[in-house]
Amino acid sequence: MIQGHEAYDVSHLLAGMMLVLSFALLYQDRIFAVLNIFALQAVLLAAAVTWMAWTQDSPHLYITAALALGLKGIVIPVALHRMIIKLGIHRDVEQVVGVGKTLLLGLALTALSLMLVLKVTETAQSFTREGLALALAIILLGFLMMITRRNAVTQIVGFMSLENGLILAATGARGMPLVVEVSVAFSVLIALFVFAVFVFRIRERFDGVDIEALDNVRGEDR
């Protein structure tokens, strides 16, 4: 079990790298690159949770790390890769807002996260405050990715990146009960299944996964 600045520095480094990858997700315009970056973010999440398990002497967090690595680092990206190839989905990412504006919005949300969390947690430990600030920024960037992408697959990735931030925040605050971690893992699998069916239906009807097609149909029905 490690105490002091060394433990804090490593945790902050891993969380900071996850945040950088959140910006990389916003920047990328190729689906396969998005999936690869997300898988790397999941690996970093697993590493961060493993480090927290060691420094906090919380063995149950090793299970969380294994779930993050196995499901988000390997199983889900591979499944989405295969789905994209099988369905012949268009591999360019169409955006509602330009990359430059999206990145500026991301920077603004990150600054907001830092100011908000550091302001309202003045009495908390330094590690908890900074870790929560970084985790909140990752959550907000995941949400931003969901609303600035028209491609359903990249919206799935945005949702799961958001959930990475939630897990990082919870484990940084002395961990979650195991039952919650298992339920989170199952919720991710269920969400993936629902989104996969959703993507398949769009592809089947509109020969693509651009959700703008749904808006067009909705407008025609009015």
Tell me which of 29 and 87 has the higher pLDDT. Answer: 29
Share of the chain above pLDDT 70, in %: 67
Across the range 113-128, mean pLDDT stands at 71
Residue reference for tokens 């898988």: 39
What is the pLDDT at residue 41? 96
Separation of alpha carbons 145 and 98, rounded Å: 12
DSSP letters, the chain, are ---SHHHHHHHHHHHHHHHHHHHHHHH--BHHHHHHHHHHHHHHHHHHHHHHHHHHT-THHHHHHHHIIIIIIIIHHHHHHHHHHHHT---BPPBSS-HHHHHHHHHHHHHHHHHHHHHHTTTS-HHHHHHHHHHHHHHHHHHHHHHSB-BHHHHHHHHHHHHHHHHHHHHHTT---HHHHHHHHHHHHHHHHHHHHHHHHHHHHHSS-BTHHHHHHHHHH-
Tell me which of 186 and 16 has the higher pLDDT. Answer: 16
- For the chain, the domains span 5-221
Highest mean pLDDT among 69-73, 80-84, 90-94, 168-172: 69-73
* Among the listed residues 131, 102, 127, 133, the one whose alpha carbon sits nearest the alpha carbon of residue 115: 133
Share of the chain above pLDDT 90, in %: 25
* Among the listed residues 35, 36, 65, 70, the one whose alpha carbon sits nearest the alpha carbon of residue 48: 65
Q: What is the mean pLDDT of the chain?
A: 78
Residue 183, pLDDT > 60, answer no
Tell me: the pLDDT tens digits for 42-87? 999 999 989 888 887 878 788 888 888 988 899 888 888 887 787 6
Provide CB contacts within 8 A for 207, sequence distance 6+.
Answer: none
C-alpha separations of 135 from 132, 146, 199, 204, 212 in Å: 5, 17, 28, 37, 31
